[in-house]
Amino acid sequence: MTNTRPVSTGERLARGGIYAILIAAALVYLLPLAVMLLTSVKTLDDIRTGNILSLPVEIVFDAWHKAWSNACTGVSCNGVSGFFWNSFQIVIPAVLISTFVGALNGYALTKWRFKGSELFFALMLFGCFIPFQVVLLPMAQTLGYVGLANTTTGLVFVHVVYGIAFTTLFFRNFYVGIPNELVLAAKLDGAGFFTIFWRILLPVSAPIIVVCIIWQFTQIWNDFLFGVVFSGQDTKPITVALNNLVNTTTGVKEYNVDMAAAIIAALPTLVVYVAAGKYFVRGLTAGAVKG
């Protein structure tokens, strides 16, 4: 039989107090989302006569339809659907490329060290701290020289360049904790650089891969500065389209449409965090305490 110590009244009260504080904090944190949801399903008359937390008199989804389906023309923007898919065309390749290159860099910097590898890593780490505004002009010139200005491919290139520094840092810290004996044994068996990478390092890298994917996905999806500077009229990401929508006035400010568009823009990152949030914390802590 297993002896279990009875929980005292004081411990129950303390535990209840902790849960009460956590629930209250969660409610406060979710309050803006509740306001956005309520506003997005209200009519304009309902918004004018009620307060921000009042329940809708009638639930309507016209604002959602308008926020999604209409397109931008000239300087006026009335919808985000096309730009929603633009963001996916930017995010998916940028995340995959930067994660893969970061994994290779982290592997080489920990298991195949070369002369100057520490300096190389220090320079990449230094790149993490360069303000984005500093490189806007040089990056615009570079994209122009290679013919990628105002294109989706150009935005992918920009995000890959900036993402590699962070993914290399994550993978390098994670791979430091993997025993070198595994790599040495594989070398003795005749395995080469890429064989070791594919068959030994990558299979155990799932936690840090999830960290890099979530980190990069969130950073790139929510980016506005690079999107507004380096995109063309038809290649804008959803953050730029959302800004245009919110700041476009045609006589009547449609707050319900603005809120619906903002929720649409935030949905992918919410889905990613809900689906893989626990793996993010696990992988981040695994890589943060090594090396």
Identify the structural domains of the chain with CATH numbers, from first to last. Answer: 9-60 (no CATH), 76-288 (1.10.3720.10)
**Distance from CA of residue 193 to its chain's centroid?**
31
Check: CB of residue 71 under 8 Å from CB of residue 164. Answer: no
Q: What is the largest CA-CA distance in the chain?
A: 77
Helix (H, G, I), strand (E, B) or coil at 5: coil
Q: Count Cβ atoms below 10 Å from residue 100 Cβ, excluding itself.
A: 16
Q: What is the pLDDT along the chain (291 residues), one digit of tens a residue?
A: 455 666 677 777 788 889 899 999 989 988 888 989 999 898 888 888 877 788 888 888 888 888 887 544 444 455 678 888 899 999 999 999 999 999 999 998 888 888 888 888 888 888 778 888 888 888 999 999 998 888 999 999 999 998 898 899 889 888 888 888 888 888 888 888 888 889 888 888 888 898 889 889 999 999 999 998 988 888 889 998 888 887 775 667 788 888 998 999 999 988 888 877 677 666 666 655 444
Specify the DSSP element, H or E, that contains 76: strand 76-77
Side-chain-side CA neighbours of 21 within 13 Å: the count stands at 6
Entry pTM: 0.82
Q: If residue 72 lies in a helix (H) or strand (E), which one and from where to where?
A: strand 72-73
Joined together, the tokens standing for residue 37 give 């949801």
Residues 255/39, Cβ–Cβ less than 8 Å: yes
Please, are residues 154 and 148 in contact by the beta-carbon 8 Å criterion?
yes
Give one DSSP letter per residue of 209-241, joined into a string.
HHHHHHHHHHHHHT--HHHHHH--TTS--HHHH
